[in-house]
Amino acid sequence: MDGIREEAVRTISTRAELCAIAEPDDLFARYAVPAHLDGGWVLGGAVAFVRRSHSGRRNLATWGPREDLGRLLDRLIAEGVLAVTLDHVSVEQQHADVLTQRIGTADGSAWDWMATVVPPPPTPAEARVIPLDDLADAAELQDLADRENPLSEGCPGTGRSERWVGVRDDRGRIVACAAVHRLSSGAAHLSGIIVASSHRGQGLGRATTAVLTRDLLRTEPVVTLGMYADNVVARGLYHSMGYVTDKAWWSCSVLAPDGSGAGRESACT
């Protein structure tokens, strides 16, 4: 009987294999992925792989041409790869429906992954930036996050941040901060960037980001960060400092067959 032979899914297990498939200027493939993958699959021009996020969650990231992506997702669903044991699945925002048409999802959010290899220029407010301590300042940093940005992933006091900088007002209160985390690849990742609403418009977010970015690029090839896609002001700020949006993601959790799911978890747990 004549028939069309179904294209085989090829497996990959290293960042080097992923980079060989990706576009030469794909910064996410080069810098956000660990040297060894928990699992990786390629079908046509589409790729999917498991990685740990900077907050420790086990995520499946996938991208590629729409038709190939759909075929790859079909295979991964059939093989049980897209299971609730994954914390999140991330697809490009433009292809979110390719996933949601195939499997039940919850807690979807759009976010941008950015990177820069260019040191930003100095800004006047940098004179106010001082070092902060992950443990000694943890309560005050968390209070600032709770008041100004509950979705912040700085996670003070957990040991996740290797460095904090910030700005204090004339009463000694922290009114701006930013932290350095590490991706599972080892790349530097800025997180916990917050400015108190009472002190916005003074260039403090630019200053804390610029100080960390410039210092890191003295010894490292890249600095990365992530932001929720609806934060237009932040996107403009980071782009003006030399960051580029390398991936525009839509991430969600996958529901079990009975419709249940793990739901959104704090990034600090």
The enclosing domain of 159 has a CATH number of 3.40.630.30
- Which domain range does residue 43 map to? 10-113+248-254
The span from the CA of 226 to the CA of 232, in Å, is 13
The pLDDT confidence band at residue 259, using thresholds 50, 70 and 90, is low
CB 129 within 8 A of CB 207: yes
**259 found inside a domain:** no
Residues 97 and 27 in one domain: yes
Determine which helix (DSSP H) or strand (DSSP E) holds 181, and give its type and residue range: strand 174-182
Would you say residue 183 has pLDDT above 80? Answer: yes
Q: What percent of the chain has pLDDT over 90?
A: 82
pLDDT single digits (tens) 190-209? 999 999 999 999 999 999 99
Query: Do residues 57 and 87 make contact, with C-beta atoms less than 8 angstroms apart?
Result: yes
Between CA 85 and CA 193 the distance in angstroms is 30
Let me know whether 50 and 124 are in one domain.
Answer: no
pLDDT number for residue 107: 79
* pLDDT over 70 percentage in the chain: 91
The answer to whether the beta carbons of residues 64 and 47 sit under 8 Å apart is yes
Residue 45 clears pLDDT 60, i.e. is over it: yes
Distance, in Å, from the CA atom of 177 to the CA atom of 131, rounded to the nearest integer, reads 9
| pLDDT at residue 159 is higher than 60 | yes
Give the span between the Cα atoms of 189 and 32, in whole angstroms: 9
Contacts of 81 (CB under 8 A, 6+ apart): 39, 41, 48, 60
Flag whether pLDDT at 1 surpasses 60: no
**Do 129 and 206 share a domain, yes or no?**
yes
- Separation between Cα atoms, residue 74 and residue 252, nearest integer Å: 17
pLDDT reading at 68 higher than 90: yes
Q: What letter represents residue 195's amino acid? A: V
Give the chain's radius of gyration (CA, Å): 20
Asked if residue 3 has pLDDT above 70, the reply is no
For residue 263, report the phi and psi dihedrals to the nearest 5 degrees. Answer: 80, 180
What CATH number has the domain bearing residue 56? 3.40.630
Cβ 111 vs Cβ 126: under 8 Å: no
Residue 192 CA: distances (Å) to CA of 144, 162, 165, 168: 10, 12, 10, 16
Domain count, the chain: 2
Query: Do 89 and 105 sit in the same domain of this protein?
Result: yes
* pLDDT on residue 86: 85
Render pLDDT for 97-110 as a digit per residue (tens, 0 to 9): 999 999 999 879 99
Looking at residue 262, its pLDDT comes to 45
- Summarised one tens digit per residue, pLDDT across range 215-255 is 999 999 999 999 999 999 999 999 999 999 999 999 999 88
Report if residue 30 sits inside a domain: yes
- In which element (H, E) is residue 246 found? strand 244-254
Average pLDDT for 130-148:
98
| Rounded Cα–Cα distance for residues 58 and 154 (Å) | 18
Residues 85 and 129 in one domain: no
Give the range with max mean pLDDT: 79-93, 203-217, 245-259: 203-217
The distance between the two most distant Cα atoms of the chain, rounded to a whole number of Å, is: 82
Query: Is 237 part of a structural domain of the chain?
Result: no
Give the span between the Cα atoms of 34 and 98, in whole angstroms: 26
Q: Average of pLDDT values for 27-46?
A: 95
Whole-number pLDDT of residue 70: 97
Confidence check: pLDDT of 26 > 70: yes
The burial class, CB within 10 Å (0-12 / 13-18 / 19+), for 168 is middle
pTM, two decimals, is: 0.90
The closest alpha carbon to 166, from 179, 153, 157, 155, belongs to: 179
Residues 108 and 126 in one domain: no
Taking all residues of the chain, what is their mean pLDDT, rounded to a whole number?
A: 91
> DSSP labels for 212-223?
HHHHHHTT-S-E
Please check whether residues 107 and 44 belong to one and the same domain.
yes
Q: Which residue has the higher pLDDT, 25 or 56?
A: 25
